[in-house]
Structure 1
Amino acid sequence: MEAVPARVRVYVACAALSALLCLLPLPDIRTPWWAVALLAGLYAGCEHVVRKRLGGTFYPVLLAGAFLLPAPAAAFVPLPGALFSHVEQRPRALRRVWRAAELALAVWGAGSVHRMLGGRGAVVGCDFPYALVPCAAAVLAFCAVLALLDGGILAVAERVAVRRAWRGLFSRSLAPIGVHGLAGLMMAVLWRSPYGPVAALLVLLPMCVSWWVFAQYHREQAAHQATIRALVQAVDIKDGYTRGHSERVGQASVMIARELGMDEERVEVLRFAGILHDVGKLGVPTRLLRKDGPLTPEERRIIELHPEYGHEMVRGISFLGEARAAILHHHERIDGSGYPYGLAGGQIPESARVVAVADAFDAMTSTRSYSRARPVGAAVEELRRCAGRQFDTAAVDALVRALHKEGWHPAVTADVCPPLSDRPGSDRESVARGAP
């Protein structure tokens, strides 16, 4: 607990106190406690299985509670499951309290909205399609509360800028929680039908299918990340003195992409592009990457083949999307003097223009065997000087705006190698031949 900043403990305590306030009216409300206990037990069991296997949360039972019970009673449903859930990271107690508080608040918000719109009567009377209206509003409230609280804890704990902390949280949660909301509505309708709660449990069958689909999705995402890590580690091993450069270029590419207004899916693709931009070095002889001395023209031509090597290596990886074009063209220049194809201006894919700026920025602000790191301000001035000739002006301006808002705090620092007289074939080629 000592390692947790005080501001985080205060934030969690405030959330927990708010959740308790939501439960205060509970003793004065006529509540079918057997229903609360059944839903809480069902949620706790499902939460144990889903969280342990997938790291997710079982929302349908919570939303069914919001549709069936008064808001304070519904807010009680997630508490046993969250407080006794499987948690791997420390501090476990604080994480359990936080999870219980945010779920209780989200369910309370969803239940309150649902009841205000007459949703309980619509569920009892099976009044379709009107029953979908309060259900949809409750799901929106549920998503909004979770996004608000999750963004807040991110801003407080990680000191992430408020704008970044909340960006995309609400929109990304709508689709999956919307599906869970429909499953919760099915449970609520069957629960209130003549067949009773036993029939509502039949909804668990399609839920099991959704679990499996969700698990497949997570496995696919994990495989994507493992592929990226393996490729980056291979490049680091081959050209180890630039270790960390790929991750920093990915970070800078994300900053530029977001400032350009790209959606989160494209931002993630640009992150992949930045991380993998130099993967083609795996096809370059190690002796050239580590050569102590200037390159011959023939050796430089071999080095300049690495974007094409990289493109060939990743062309079959479908999830990379336009990142493959960035890997191929990140050494092209706006004035047409770059390589491998000498593209100019708008012929260069936008993703490649973004990565080119990120690559040059990190090369200038990192210590290399042939040069000391420049201050961020000096690197920015050099990028501005070359904008319109070597670099895309919009990408440079976007990086400048992002640096002004967020600063430059790279997550990984490149290793500093023993001084060498000259070390071509590394990231300095992104600023070679007259580049900054």
Structure 2
Amino acid sequence: MKVIPRAARAYIGCALLGAGACVLPALRPGAAVPWGTVALLAALYALCELPARCRLIDRALGRSLPVGTGSFFPVLLAAALLLPPAAAALTALPGSLLARVEEPPAAPRRAWRAAAAALAVGAAALTADALGAATALGRGPDAPDLPYALLPAGAAALVFCLALTALDGGIRATAGGIPPRAAWRGLLGRSLVPHTVHGLAGLMMAVLWRSTYGPVAALFVLLPMYISSWVFAQYHRERAAHQATVRALVQAVDIKDRYTRGHSERVGQASVLIARELGMAEDRLDVVRFAGILHDVGKLGVPTRVLTKDGPLTPEERRVIELHPEYGHEMVRGIGFLGEARAAILHHHERMDGSGYPYGLHGEQIPEFARVVAVADAFDAMTSTRSYSRARPVPTALAELERCAGTQFDPRMVAALAQALDRHGWQPAVTADEARPNPPGTPPGGNVPPPREATPEPADRPRERA
């Protein structure tokens, strides 16, 4: 069981005290609380969270249920528009306590989740009440003042988002030991749009709840929200499966060739820098990253004795190792989500002048992703310290790439990398435990052969020309 730091325990305790103070006015004798509405909304929120808690239901549906309280925030935001602040805060407690907890310890996590939700809903309800949400929503035959109702609903959703962001950043800082600035960085940007959508759905629920059709009509708002949450959960599970597939292949390559451990991830990172500088669409950035990460997966088909040989390669060993792009392409050919990355894996050793391998393509015949990966691959090889070569400075590596632009590399890709590095910089990692010089008679480029009858590779290309 993970031990909760003392600072985090104190932070959770303060949140629980704040949540208790928030709901206390509703529990006082004689408080004017519409308990029927509170009970219905609290039960609805709890029922929405309960299936994800039930392992049997989740397993029966292939683990495709949306997990986490965020899937059903429209119920809480509807409560913030319909109820007084203290009563609205009460509706968050049952569902937050029932929601699934993925990691131990479960009890403190549930207590924290309930306290944070109660505080956020209470703050949202207080904002909505101050802006006259009850009047704007109308009642029964009275039509809601929708243009005006958008103001309290939007303000409530914003306050709800700000409260949760502030509380979540605090727990990250105290429980995870993250510096305060880093703990809150990016939280608001990621949460603002989803919470705005939830606020609109909550407004729809509240309007229908107050209409002559009553609470039953409001339930129909949850159906599209649940479907969208399910689709979103499916997307993230599929993405996680893709990442796991790529990670397993990269780990297999790293285990086989310890000299280039970490190289694949850095080539993926450099490929994304180039692609982003070229203005590629966001959906292609993931694919080009996969191309960079998996460009050397074909080394799994090359005998280890050839990959790790200290001396120069024989002609037969040279022919064997030149097959690794084709091996890689065969390995990933059936992985549909890789898309254009498959062509990059096959052609990342082609050259602009046509002297590369395996097929001797030239110029624009070489797929765009392959031209991106070729530059990223060479750049990382030159700027990484290996057990058989020392890292070159970034300016020296860029100068070498520019020297080979037009013959070996696409000049557009080289220029894009230079511009990206000027904007973002580069932090190459050491991928070997110690540095030692090349064995006598071993070319600086290592054991991957240069293209046939071509301009020499940059001097510090690694042995796998990865």
TM-score > 0.5, shorter chain as reference? yes
Residue 227 of structure 2 corresponds to residue 227 of structure 1 = no
Partner of 1:424: 447
Partner of 1:47: 49
Question: What are structure 2's unaligned runs of at least 5 residues?
Answer: 59-65, 405-412, 450-455, 462-466
Q: CA deviation at 1:228?
A: 2.0
Aligned-pair identity in percent equals 57
Whole-Å separation in 2 of the counterparts to 1:149 and 1:264: 31
Residue 294 of structure 2 corresponds to residue 276 of structure 1 = yes
Q: Which amino acid aligns with 2:447?
A: P
Superposition pairs of residues 280-319 of structure 1, within 5 angstroms: 280-284=298-302, 288-296=306-314, 299-300=317-318, 303-304=321-322, 306-307=324-325, 310=328, 314=332, 317=335, 319=337
Whole-Å separation in 1 of the counterparts to 2:221 and 2:428: 49
Q: Would the alpha carbon gap of residues 72 and 122 (structure 1) be closer, same or farther in structure 2, given more than 3 Å must change?
A: same
Partner of 1:434: 459
Whole-Å separation in 1 of the counterparts to 2:182 and 2:363: 34
Q: CA deviation at 1:46?
A: 1.8
Residue 68 of structure 2 corresponds to residue 56 of structure 1 = yes
Q: Would the alpha carbon gap of residues 193 and 48 (structure 1) be closer, same or farther in structure 2, given more than 3 Å must change?
A: same
Out of 204, 207, 216, the residue aligned to residue 186 of structure 1 is 204
Partner of 2:417: 395
Whole-Å separation in 2 of the counterparts to 1:121 and 1:181: 18
Secondary structure of the 1:217 match is helix
Q: Which amino acid aligns with 2:243?
A: Q
Q: CA deviation at 1:294?
A: 1.7
Q: CA deviation at 1:32?
A: 1.6
CA deviations over 1:25-44 (Å, ceiling 9, x no partner): 55576322332233223222
Question: What are structure 1's unaligned runs of at least 5 residues?
Answer: none
Residue 128 of structure 2 corresponds to residue 114 of structure 1 = yes
Whole-Å separation in 1 of the counterparts to 2:204 and 2:396: 60
Contact 1:148 1:166 in 2 (8 A): no
Superposition pairs of residues 402-413 of structure 1, within 5 angstroms: 402=424
Q: CA deviation at 1:280?
A: 3.4
Partner of 2:178: 159
Q: CA deviation at 1:172?
A: 4.4
Whole-Å separation in 1 of the counterparts to 2:150 and 2:333: 44
Residue 82 of structure 2 corresponds to residue 68 of structure 1 = yes
Q: Which has the larger radius of gyration?
A: 2
Out of 89, 96, 99, the residue aligned to residue 85 of structure 1 is 99
Superposition pairs of residues 254-265 of structure 1, within 5 angstroms: none
Range with greater deviation from structure 2 (66-75 or 177-186): 177-186
CA deviations over 1:381-404 (Å, ceiling 9, x no partner): 544554644683653564576568
Whole-Å separation in 1 of the counterparts to 2:34 and 2:304: 72
CA deviations over 1:124-169 (Å, ceiling 9, x no partner): 34426424454344334434444454455556626379469633x4
Q: Which amino acid aligns with 1:69?
A: L
Q: CA deviation at 1:87?
A: 1.7
Contact 2:19 2:118 in 1 (8 A): yes
Q: Would the alpha carbon gap of residues 403 and 185 (structure 1) be closer, same or farther in structure 2, given more than 3 Å must change?
A: same
Partner of 1:135: 153
CA deviations over 1:199-218 (Å, ceiling 9, x no partner): 43454544554454344334
Whole-Å separation in 2 of the counterparts to 1:155 and 1:69: 33
Q: Which amino acid aligns with 1:91?
A: P
Q: How many residues align?
A: 422
Q: CA deviation at 1:78?
A: 2.0
Q: Would the alpha carbon gap of residues 121 and 294 (structure 1) be closer, same or farther in structure 2, given more than 3 Å must change?
A: farther
Partner of 1:98: 112
Q: CA deviation at 1:229?
A: 3.1
Whole-Å separation in 2 of the counterparts to 1:348 and 1:271: 15
Contact 2:287 2:339 in 1 (8 A): yes
Secondary structure of the 2:144 match is coil
Whole-Å separation in 2 of the counterparts to 1:160 and 1:396: 32
Range with greater deviation from structure 2 (1-10 or 39-48): 1-10
Secondary structure of the 2:108 match is helix
Contact 2:259 2:386 in 1 (8 A): no
